[in-house]
Structure 1
Amino acid sequence: MPRFPLLAATALTAALLAQPLCAQTAPVTPMTPDVVDKYDEVRPEADFIRREIMVPMRDGTKLYTAIVMKKGTKNAPILLSRTPYNAHGDVTRTKSQRLREIVPAMDVEFVEDGYIRVYQDIRGLHRSEGQLVMNRPIVGPLNNTGIDESTDAYDTIDWLVKNLPESNGKVGIIGSSYLGFTSLAAIINPHPALKAAVPQSPMVDGWMGDDWFHYGAFRQNSFDYALGQSTGKADAGADIPRGAGDDYTAYLEAGSAGDFARKWGVDQVPFVRKLMENPAYTDFWSGQAVDKWLAERPLTVPTMLVVGQWDQEDSYGAPAAYRALEPKDKDNTMVSLVIGPWRHSGVNHYGYDLGPLTFAGDTAREFRVKWLKPFFDHHLKGAADPHTPPVLTYDTGAQRWDVSPKWPMGKLTPLYLGENFTASFSAPKQAGHDDYVSDPAHPVPYAPRPTNMGNRAQWTTWLVTDQRFAEGRPDVLTYQTAPLDKPVHIMGAPSVDLFAATSGTDSDWVVKLIDVAPNDTPENGSQGSKPANPGFQLPLGIEIFRGRYVHSFAKPEALKPGKVEEFRFDLPNIDHVVLPGHRIMVQVQSSLFPLYDRNPQSFVPNIFNAKPADYKVATQSIQRGGGKPSAVLIPIVE
């Protein structure tokens, strides 16, 4: 028989054998149900593998875990993030068959280099089982359940190294904001396979200077966050339905922060109740401070702490964790601190600019490529030691990266407030005071009105807003130096030493340290403003202090009218050269609204419950010279 007919017959036989399989699918009719059980978005041509697993914890709770890697991956390190912000979304950023397109932009360098990328929903959110407890305290006096974010990280890592045959058994953890908190928690009683951690803008102490309060003054947009997270079992949390008008007006008309919460029905959200019922720094908050947890335990995991100089949410956490960990780093190789020219979580996005500022290239990507990935490559892949700098900071005045052996680098040097609203590094020869009237009915806005804390463009850049909008107000005192004849390099956290009195029985004190450009700047100048902006007032640091805590953060007390008290608090950490020809300015005021709730300026036990009659006008007196020389102590590098 000829060869060709044999092949044809064989093909025909195969086709006939296949017919019964096809016949199993019934023909469709007009009433055939139109819902399928599943559609696999990862097609055969995809260059990656995606797995979605419910990973069991020690108490039986299962956490949704998304795992992605390039096809053909083997002997690969694992990079883990534990998030409250929907892990599924981190592996479905686009509907693409290319791995670099489905993961967040900051992960592209890792997945293309063979890393296994893992994202996990924390307890009680999105696809994970269990109950959410915001910033769940570590097992101890505040938590007797036997589980916390540290144990969940341990159990997750244990499962990953035992169940991912493609891995080399080494794990790193990374994440920003809440993910920075879970990254720090992972290094407390860490799993042996955890070899490196990079907490970015971590939430460390929500009362002292991170999300909820700053030195006792309440950040009112915490209500929005609390509601969104508390309703986050679905993919999208709820929003306070107050419309898109001016937040300044909405909060002012509501009354106290507590009145605002009650008006919108968020006062019964458990975490909102925790905020409103615990306004002071009692064990409720101090027992949750992550830096205190870290200080009590050995440092066994190499840790790189990252924060933005203008982090509008968590400027406190990374430096606080560094202060807790650095004394344990005997050879200066286990812990490092990075301060970049970024907003909150800006390290993971594009770092060319921030609001009116431009920088020398994409500073965020430069950091990720030159320092971040080599750090992980060394500890997770056995690559050569990159000699990670103990401290890496970006000088936002001179536009360059600085490498330092420690932090802070500068020597605290007083910049004194003087007569005629001057500021000088020489102490005033005469004592005096300057007064202003603070009216809670007309608080100073934190940014030019209309204010909208939900507007990302305004919210992410308010810390670099030109401060001339506030300078002319009668309830804002402005002191400034003569034009500098030499550069002043600031490296560290400036410290406020304010001698002040009030005619009321409580008061807030806001201090701003500002770099003022010459009023004749001819082009894009040393501050990188865009476009050229003569006289631009660039805030280097802004902070608020609630006066009732002058003697004790845990036990507030009324101020005595007219009595001068010394208020000490720190501004955020910075690396910045103020160039010759510029001036250094200090602004002092008593409100920063509506970001921070209004102080009624009469003492009440709990400001969340202040009544309209409690809000009173007060005369504020700032002392200068003599035995009460108000100053900002600036860490200057000679």
Structure 2
Amino acid sequence: MKTLGMLIAGATLAIATTGSAQTLPNGIPTKFRPVHATFDYDRREVEVKMRDRVALHMVLIIPMGTRDAPILLERTPYGADKATSRVESSHGVMLVGAAFAEFLKAGYILAFEDVRGKHGSKGDYVNERPLIGPLNGTKIDHSTDAYDTIEWLTKNVKETNGRVGIIGTSYDGMMAAMALVHPHPALKAAAPMNPVINTWKGDDDFHGGAFRQIGYDYYFSQDTARGEGDDLWRDAYDDYETFLRAGSATGFVKSRGLDQIQVVKDLHDHPAYDAFWQAQALETILPKQPQTVPTLWIASQWDQEDMYGAVAAYEAVSKNDPNHVNHLALGPWAHGGWSGTGDSLGAIRFGSDTAAWFRQHVLIPFLDGNLKTGGTPADIAPVTAFQTGTNTWQRLPGWPSACASGCAAPTRKLYLQAGGALSFAAPTADGADDYVSDPAKPIPYRLRPIRPTYATGSTWRQWLVDDQRPFADRTDVLTYETAPLDAPLALAGAPVADLIAATTGSDGDFVVKLIDVYPDEYFEKPELGGYQLPVAMDILRGRYRESVSDPKPITPNAPLSYRFALPNVNHVFLPGHRIMVQIQSSWFPLYDRNPQTFVPNIFDAKLQDYRKATIRVIHSPAQASAIELPVADVGAR
């Protein structure tokens, strides 16, 4: 009988006899060839040469069996690969977002292209690269890149019918708008969605001259890496504390080395609406040439990022549009809300999936009519707008649509009154209300703790519909309110704040909020009883009260006019609701603090520049502060 030792010795001898150790096969194939027989799409990655020979990276999603199909193009700095690889699946609709899945189902080829210098594309990245002109002496811009890309698509995608549409939200919406400058003949439709049109006039960077300092997060992530950059670090959970400790915007910049980023330098060097910003304003560039491409401008009533661009561009190009190629859609959404479900925003419900309705009844019919072979123009009104309050879609002849049916007084003044009252009757006695604005204790723009814009737990997306009750009873906020309405009041357009005010400072900000106050008891949704819903809110930096390009100190203690437009609304104040106006002088840390002492550049304000100021808002017969309301017919359709 053999022992264990004998067996081991025998095995050792056998290995030694062979002259080599036993090996196992490599578990990784030399080249794995996946079988895609069940796939219902073809995903192609291509490199497209521009006129200067720089190659841009593009991903195509082509449904299997597609023939004679139109192409939808999106040009983006956020990653074409990321946009087309959301879920590993044999079904193309799983690769892209829900809205783009609808486009695939509707028979479109999808094309996503990285803009030059980002992700897979070669070349240099310039954030919001200006069009060829005073700020761009080269021979390439986003318009020429769009042209060259469309040229390549029509010649190299055999499945296409030769018709291309361009779409995109935010920065990508700006890419769609820029493609309308000297457009390619094959560009047959455009849908700029919440586009960046003018970052000083109300998109992203400035509002009324006040600087949106929370944008540093975006520029750090976007401009420090070719791919997706990191999040900007914090040293406090609450952004209110972070920015207050930093002092000025420049203090925050230097604490993190952000002055290495070109766009951050540009923001600092151009705080006023000077030639730098004017040369980039798409709402003035586009109307300089006849618009030939059917375009659907898409706006959101509560767009927390680019609330200005879509409506401003539509209004500008519509002034000279004999062929009526321009259309506008206004939905009850936050930024990019057209692509979601659209049934609610924060605590507010709209009674239906407004975004799905828009895509199925407006957007896709618009695209089909202009892009599909044999397509006929869809029956789309010049303006399609969701009326909040009544929660109904409207077909309107134009925008602003206040009193489109010809009522006698399209604008009505709602006057500030003594005792915190609001009335359509002008004040009959002299009066004023004071408050003290303290830069050391600025008013937060949403409830604290305020998380960084894109952080976990941030309420950034919905903050424009947040209940304003937490701010209404502050001593540095003036509050005015009507009695409960006995009839509905509809607005369609941009309300205008028209204040007469004096300040002890030589500079200062004015924030005005137009608010819909729900009944104290609200049976439809009891938790909304007394809710103060912002309808339109914005800010004016006092130094720009006379000129946005030529800032001037405020004469202390002098009653002066502060007049500025609020964002566009399409809203009905229902019977039993009240109209409220709140006025304050800080909105922090969304906007940098005004030191309330005139300094050449507020970015560089020093600690000693920040001083308390007493603000007096006047409501007298000769100096009547008011909100001008663009009143419309409630039942306009």
- Please indicate, yes or no, whether the TM-score normalized by the shorter chain is above 0.5: yes
Q: 1:492 to 1:262 in 2, by over 3 A?
A: same
- Specify the SS of the correspondent of 2:527: coil
Runs of 4+ deviating beyond 4 Å: 28-32, 34-42
Q: CA deviation at 1:406?
A: 0.9
CA distance in 2, matches of 1:31, 1:178: 51
8 Å contact from structure 1 (residues 523, 532) kept in 2: no
Question: Deviations along 1:378-434, whole A, 9 cap, x unmatched?
Answer: 000132322211011111100110111011122221111111111111111112211
2:535 counterpart of 1:535: no
CA distance in 1, matches of 2:479, 2:254: 37
Alignment map for 1:173-572 (pairs within 5 Å): 173-234=166-227, 236-243=228-235, 245-331=237-323, 333-381=324-372, 382-410=374-402, 411-452=410-451, 453-455=453-455, 457-524=458-525, 532-572=527-567
Question: Deviations along 1:341-391, whole A, 9 cap, x unmatched?
Answer: 000001011211111111122110110011100001000013232221101
8 Å contact from structure 1 (residues 209, 317) kept in 2: yes
Q: CA deviation at 1:559?
A: 0.7
CA distance in 2, matches of 1:510, 1:39: 62
- Specify the SS of the correspondent of 2:459: helix
- 2:12 is matched with none
Q: 1:29 to 1:551 in 2, by over 3 A?
A: farther
Which range moved further: 511-520 or 455-464?
455-464
Q: CA deviation at 1:99?
A: 0.7
- Specify the SS of the correspondent of 2:528: coil
- Specify the SS of the correspondent of 2:151: helix
**Amino acid across the alignment from 1:379:** N
Q: CA deviation at 1:626?
A: 1.8
Q: CA deviation at 1:238?
A: 2.1
CA distance in 2, matches of 1:42, 1:535: 60
- Specify the SS of the correspondent of 1:538: strand
**Amino acid across the alignment from 1:613:** Q
Alignment map for 1:576-591 (pairs within 5 Å): 576-591=571-586
**Over aligned residue pairs, what C-alpha RMSD do you find?**
1.7
Which range moved further: 552-561 or 164-173?
552-561
CA distance in 2, matches of 1:183, 1:59: 21
8 Å contact from structure 2 (residues 290, 321) kept in 1: no
CA distance in 2, matches of 1:423, 1:171: 52
Q: CA deviation at 1:454?
A: 2.5
Q: CA deviation at 1:113?
A: 2.5
- Specify the SS of the correspondent of 1:267: helix
**Amino acid across the alignment from 2:275:** D
Alignment map for 1:120-131 (pairs within 5 Å): 120-131=113-124
8 Å contact from structure 2 (residues 314, 328) kept in 1: yes
2:137 counterpart of 1:138: no
Question: Deviations along 1:188-244, whole A, 9 cap, x unmatched?
Answer: 10000000000000001101101011111010111111111112412x212211156
**Amino acid across the alignment from 1:159:** W
**Amino acid across the alignment from 1:607:** I
CA distance in 2, matches of 1:36, 1:425: 79
Which range moved further: 67-76 or 448-457?
448-457
CA distance in 2, matches of 1:500, 1:42: 72
8 Å contact from structure 1 (residues 281, 553) kept in 2: yes
CA distance in 2, matches of 1:494, 1:131: 42
Q: CA deviation at 1:323?
A: 1.4
CA distance in 2, matches of 1:312, 1:369: 25
Which range moved further: 241-250 or 148-157?
241-250
Alignment map for 1:592-603 (pairs within 5 Å): 592-603=587-598
Which range moved further: 260-269 or 34-43?
34-43
8 Å contact from structure 2 (residues 450, 458) kept in 1: no
Question: Deviations along 1:452-483, whole A, 9 cap, x unmatched?
Answer: 12346510000000000100100000001011
Q: CA deviation at 1:44?
A: 2.8
8 Å contact from structure 2 (residues 283, 313) kept in 1: yes
CA distance in 2, matches of 1:40, 1:231: 37
**Amino acid across the alignment from 2:575:** P
Q: CA deviation at 1:141?
A: 1.1
Q: CA deviation at 1:31?
A: 9.7
8 Å contact from structure 2 (residues 307, 567) kept in 1: yes
Which range moved further: 381-390 or 255-264?
381-390
Q: CA deviation at 1:137?
A: 0.8
- 2:607 is matched with 612
- 2:156 is matched with 163
Question: Deviations along 1:86-127, whole A, 9 cap, x unmatched?
Answer: 111111110111011111111112112321100000011111
CA distance in 1, matches of 2:570, 2:34: 46
CA distance in 1, matches of 2:439, 2:365: 51
- 2:17 is matched with none
8 Å contact from structure 2 (residues 191, 295) kept in 1: yes
* 2:86 counterpart (89, 93, 100): 93
**Amino acid across the alignment from 1:454:** Y
2:73 counterpart of 1:70: no
**Amino acid across the alignment from 1:362:** D
- Specify the SS of the correspondent of 2:244: helix
Which range moved further: 120-129 or 36-45?
36-45
- Specify the SS of the correspondent of 2:250: helix
8 Å contact from structure 1 (residues 176, 202) kept in 2: yes
8 Å contact from structure 1 (residues 96, 102) kept in 2: yes
Question: Deviations along 1:149-173, whole A, 9 cap, x unmatched?
Answer: 1000000000000001100000001
Instruction: Point out where structure 2 has 5 or more consecutive residues left out of the alignment.
Output: 1-21, 403-409
Q: 1:42 to 1:428 in 2, by over 3 A?
A: farther
Question: Deviations along 1:64-87, whole A, 9 cap, x unmatched?
Answer: 000011111110000000001111
CA distance in 2, matches of 1:104, 1:37: 34
8 Å contact from structure 1 (residues 69, 114) kept in 2: no
- 1:23 is matched with none
2:636 counterpart of 1:635: no
CA distance in 2, matches of 1:35, 1:226: 41
CA distance in 1, matches of 2:591, 2:24: 61
8 Å contact from structure 2 (residues 522, 529) kept in 1: yes
- Specify the SS of the correspondent of 1:210: coil
8 Å contact from structure 2 (residues 435, 475) kept in 1: yes
CA distance in 1, matches of 2:30, 2:601: 54
Q: TM-score, normalised by structure 1?
A: 0.92
- 1:24 is matched with none
8 Å contact from structure 1 (residues 41, 95) kept in 2: no
8 Å contact from structure 1 (residues 42, 97) kept in 2: no
8 Å contact from structure 1 (residues 42, 50) kept in 2: no
8 Å contact from structure 1 (residues 111, 117) kept in 2: yes
**Amino acid across the alignment from 1:321:** A
8 Å contact from structure 1 (residues 440, 616) kept in 2: yes
Question: Deviations along 1:279-333, whole A, 9 cap, x unmatched?
Answer: 11101111111111112111110110001100000000001101111112225x3
- Specify the SS of the correspondent of 2:177: helix
8 Å contact from structure 1 (residues 409, 637) kept in 2: yes
Q: 1:393 to 1:555 in 2, by over 3 A?
A: same
Q: CA deviation at 1:625?
A: 2.4
8 Å contact from structure 1 (residues 63, 128) kept in 2: yes
Question: Deviations along 1:528-570, whole A, 9 cap, x unmatched?
Answer: xxx6321000000110010001111111111110112211111
Q: TM-score, normalised by structure 2?
A: 0.92
CA distance in 1, matches of 2:516, 2:32: 56
- 2:14 is matched with none
